[in-house]
Chain A
Amino acid sequence: MLAEINEFTETERSPSFSERVVNRVSRQLGRGSNRRSFLTKSAVVGSALAVNPLQFLFRPGTAYAALGCGPAADCGSGWTVFCCSVNHGKNECPPGSIPAGWWKTDNSSFCHGRARYIVDCNATCGGCGCGSSGICSPGCYNCGCRCNTGSCDQRRHCCNEFRYGQCHQELACVGPVVCRVSTCTAPWQWDAACTTTSATANATALHAAPCLEAKPIPKEEPEMWVIEKELPPGTPQAPNTVVIGLPANRKSAVVRLMLYNEKVKGASLWGAHVFHQGVQGLWGGGKVWELWLPTKYVVQSTIHPQAHQIVLVNRGPAGLPATVTVSGT
Chain B
Amino acid sequence: MRLSAQGVAVAVRAGWEGRVMRREATEESDGAQTYAVVHLSTFPLPEQRGDFGAGVTELMRSPDALVILFEYGPESLHAPLFATQGIPRLRADMFSSARLQRPLPGQVGCQLFFTENNRPFCLYVVAGSRAYLPRIITEVNLVLEGLEILL
Taking chain A's interface residues, is the majority helix, strand, or loop, or is none over half, making it mixed?
loop
* B113 in contact with A162 (CB, 8 Å): no
* A165 in contact with B122 (CB, 8 Å): yes
The count of A-to-B residue pairs whose CB atoms sit within 8 angstroms is 164
- Interface presence of A197 (CB below 8 A): yes
Q: In the complex, what residues of B have CB within 8 A of residue A277's CB?
A: 23, 48
Interface size (B, Cβ < 8 Å)?
51
* A199 in contact with B73 (CB, 8 Å): no
Bound Cα distance from A281 to B48, whole angstroms: 16
From 69 to 107 in chain B, residues with beta carbon under 8 angstroms from any chain A beta carbon are 70-73, 75-76, 79-84, 88, 94, 96, 98-104
Known contacts A78-B104, A280-B26, A132 near B80 by CB under 8 Å:
no
* B94 in contact with A103 (CB, 8 Å): no
Known contacts A171-B81, A277-B23, A132 near B88 by CB under 8 Å:
yes
- Interface presence of A143 (CB below 8 A): no
Known contacts A171-B81, A172-B83, A203-B50, A197 near B73 by CB under 8 Å:
yes
- Interface presence of A266 (CB below 8 A): yes
Q: Which of A162, A202, A203 contacts B100 (CB 8 A)?
A: A162
Shortest CB–CB separation between residue A118 and chain B, in angstroms? 11
From 241 to 272 in chain A, residues with beta carbon under 8 angstroms from any chain B beta carbon are 266-268, 272
- Interface presence of A134 (CB below 8 A): yes
**Chain A interface residues toward B at CB < 8 A:** 77-79, 103-104, 106-107, 113-115, 131-135, 145, 156, 159-166, 169-172, 176, 186, 188-189, 195-204, 266-268, 272-273, 275-278, 280-283, 295, 301-302, 304
The 11 sampled A-B contact pairs (Cβ below 8 Å) are A115-B29, A132-B113, A159-B98, A162-B109, A162-B111, A169-B81, A170-B79, A188-B31, A201-B50, A201-B52, A295-B48
Given A133-B99, A196-B33, 11 more A-B residue pairs with CB atoms under 8 Å apart are A103-B51, A106-B26, A132-B83, A161-B96, A161-B100, A163-B122, A169-B82, A186-B30, A197-B71, A200-B51, A275-B24
